[in-house]
Amino acid sequence: MSQGVPDFLPEDAHVSPATWGDLREEGRADARTPTTRSDRRGDAPSRGTRGRDPARPRRRGRAEDPPTEGAAAVDAEPDHEDVARQIVLRQLAMAPRSRAQLETKLRQRDCPEDVITRVLDRMTEVGLVDDEAYAAMLVRSQQVTKGLAKRALAHELRKKGIDKDLADAALDEVDPDQERRTARELVDKKLRSMGGLTVEVQTRRLAGMLARKGYGAGTAYSVIRDAIADAPEHLRD
């Protein structure tokens, strides 16, 4: 290299001697300046964009596959009759139901009327829906658990949508003697909590209780009179 020419210039470089000093100082300064990591790698693409056209939008996730035959089947309209059958079976699994109650439930679930008719007709054929058996069961259970008389039982059957002929047949099975015994049991139980009241007050409250359970006035006052007469607090010494 030519004498006096800085070692970072080629030998044939034509540089005036006046500028050599400045060039030497600039070269030394550059050598002393530390290079950063980004300086060393320059404008290399980042890890996430290496080898990718920056103008091309990033692909997010897999492209949706075209619908298959199975997927189309999933989106198909449900079988209304199967849906109605499942609703009926769930209702019957919880408690006995009349046909009218099941019809109401299916309408609430927006089942078509023709579907309701077909499904319940089929359920009736196989014995899962039986209003006659339901009416008889309801009469027996309400007599035992609530002590209801025929008038109140008839009201319960109407509420459940039982046909009048079927309701009458179920009510014909009510034994008048058993009905009177049930009324007496109700009165005796109530009297035990009415000690100290006058006969008039006891009679009025007991009559109201029996009336709410469907007993006629004749039966009610006859039973009440006998029960009060037999009560220990009213027995004469």
Evaluate whether residue 16 is within a structural domain.
Answer: no
Residue 35 lies in a domain: no
Question: Would you state the structure tokens that stand for residue 57, as one six-digit string?
Answer: 């939008």
- Examine the domain organization and report whether 110 and 146 are in the same domain: no
Position 90 pLDDT exceeds 60:
yes
Same domain membership, residue 119 and residue 92 = yes
Q: Write out pLDDT tens, residues 158-174.
A: 999 999 999 999 999 99
Most confident of 16-20, 71-75, 216-220: 216-220
| Residue 167 shares a structural domain with residue 182 | no
Strands (E) across 62-115 are located at none
Residue 70 vs residues 66, 67, 74, 113, 224: alpha-carbon distances, Å? 11, 8, 7, 30, 73
In a domain, 114, yes or no: yes
Does a structural domain hold residue 85? yes
- 179 with 237, same domain: the answer is yes
Q: Same domain, yes or no, for 181 and 135? A: no
Are 145 and 90 part of one and the same domain?
Answer: no
Residue appearing with tokens 């060039």: 23
Would 150 be classed as within a structural domain? yes
Within this chain, do residues 168 and 193 fall inside the same structural domain, yes or no?
no
| Domain boundary, last residue among 65, 100, 125 | 125
Q: What distance in Å separates the CA atoms of residue 42 and residue 113, rounded to the nearest whole number?
A: 76
90 and 102 assigned to the same domain = yes
pTM given for the model:
0.64
Per DSSP, the residues of 100-168 read HHHHHHHHHTT--HHHHHHHHHHHHHTTS--HHHHHHHHHHHHHHHH---HHHHHHHHHHTT--HHHHH
CB 189 within 8 A of CB 175: no
Cα separation of the two ends of the chain: 150
- Residue 77's pLDDT band, with cuts at 50, 70 and 90, is low
Position 166 in a domain: yes
How many structural domains is the chain composed of? 3
Which residues, in sequence order, are CB contacts of 67 under 8 Å at separation 6+?
A: none
212 is a domain residue:
yes
Range of the domain at 195: 175-237
Residue 231, pLDDT score:
84
Domain co-membership, 114 together with 86: yes
User: CA of 6: how far to CAs of 13, 25, 28, 34, 186, in Å?
Assistant: 10, 10, 11, 21, 125
Measured distance CA(119)–CA(121) in Å, rounded: 5
Evaluate whether 133 touches 169 at the Cβ level (below 8 Å).
Answer: no
- pLDDT band, residue 73 (cuts 50/70/90): very low
pLDDT digits over 2-39, tens only?
A: 455 555 555 555 555 555 455 455 555 454 555 555 45
The verdict on residue 140 lying in a domain is: yes
165 and 197 inside one domain: no
Burial class (CB in 10 A: 0-12, 13-18, 19+), 193: exposed
Nearest to 183 by CA among 230, 143, 156, 154: 143
Are residue 181 and residue 229 in the same domain, yes or no?
Answer: yes
